[in-house]
Amino acid sequence: MSASEESKFSFFSRKKNVQVDESKLKIPTHLAVIMDGNGRWAKKRMLPRSAGHRAGADNLKNLCKNCGHYGIKYVTVYAFSTENWSRPESEVHALMELFVEYFDRYDPELEQEGIRVRFTGDIAGLPENIQEVCRRAEEGSKHRTRMTLIVAFNYGGRREIVQAAQKLAEKVKSGEISSDEITEEMFSSNLYLPDVPDPDLIIRPSGEERTSNFLVWEGAYSELWFSDVLWPDFGMEELTEALVAYTARDRRFGGLTEQK
C-alpha cells in the first residue's frame, strides 16, 4: 500500500498520540449532534454571542465534510430547540437571520458534496420566511444522494411525541383505528421523519452530559458520546475519537450477545 493509500485508512490523534486504522472503525448509519457551546466559545474570546453562533454555523459545513469522509449517510444536528424561544429577542432574531444566510451561502457547497437537506421540528410554528427557506432547501436538494443533513429547528422531543399522539388520537376519534391497534411501530410512523432510521450515535460537545429533549423517542437505544470541546472547535479529531469509542461499544438493544 502506498503512503497516499495508507493515509486514507488512518488518522493520527495528537491528543492521545495513537494511530487509528479507519478501515476498522464501525461507522454509524445515522449520527446526531447537539451543537452546544457557541456562547461559551465567544465569551472565552471576549466576542459577542452572535460571533459564537456564526462560528458554530460555519463548523456545520466542516462536520458535513468530515462525516462524508467516513461515509455516514444521515447527520442530524440540533440547531434551535423549542426552549430557545426564551432567549433574548435580539439573540433569537440573530439566529433566524443566520439560518437564512447559512443556506444561501453554503448551498453550492452542499450541492458539491451531494448533501440533501431536510428539517425536523415544528416547522409550521416558525416565521413564514423561515418556512420558505426550509421548503426551498428541501425541494432544491431532494435529488442529492450522498448524505442527508437533517436540521432540527424549532425542535423538541417531547413536542414531537405529543404531536404524534395527537395524530393517533384523531385517527381513533374518527374510527380509522382503535386504541388497541396502536403499536410502537405505528407511533413511530407518526413522528416528524418516520422514514429516517434512528440515530446510532448521539454526540454532545461542550462538556454537558445530557440530551436536552433531543430525539427523545428515536434516541432510546442510541449510544451517547460527550466531549469537553466547544462546538465551534469540534473537528475531525474529535469526530474520529467518537467513532473509536462507538466502535468499542457492544450494542445489545436489551438483549444479550453470544459472549454475555
Across the strands, what pairs with 77? Answer: 33, 151
Q: Which helix (H) or strand (E) holds 34?
A: strand 30-34
Domains of the chain: 13-157+218-240 (3.40.1180.10)
What confidence tens digit (pLDDT) does each residue in 201-255 have? 999 999 999 999 999 999 999 999 999 999 999 999 999 999 999 999 986 666 6
In this structure, what C-alpha cell is assigned to residue 133?
Answer: 427557506
**Cβ contact 227:205 at 8 Å:** yes
Please give the share of the chain, as a percent, with pLDDT higher than 90.
87
What confidence tens digit (pLDDT) does each residue in 78-132 have? 999 999 999 999 999 999 999 999 998 999 999 999 999 999 999 999 999 999 9
7 pLDDT band, cuts 50/70/90, is very low
Instruction: Give the residue numbers marked as catalytic.
Output: 36, 84
Burial of 34 (0-12, 13-18, 19+ CB in 10 A): buried
Return the amino acid letter for 161. Answer: I
Q: Which helix (H) or strand (E) holds 13?
A: strand 10-13
2 pLDDT band, cuts 50/70/90, is very low
SS3 content of the chain, % helix, strand, coil (to 5): 50, 15, 35
Strands 30-34 and 74-81: parallel
Across the strands, what pairs with 116? Answer: 148
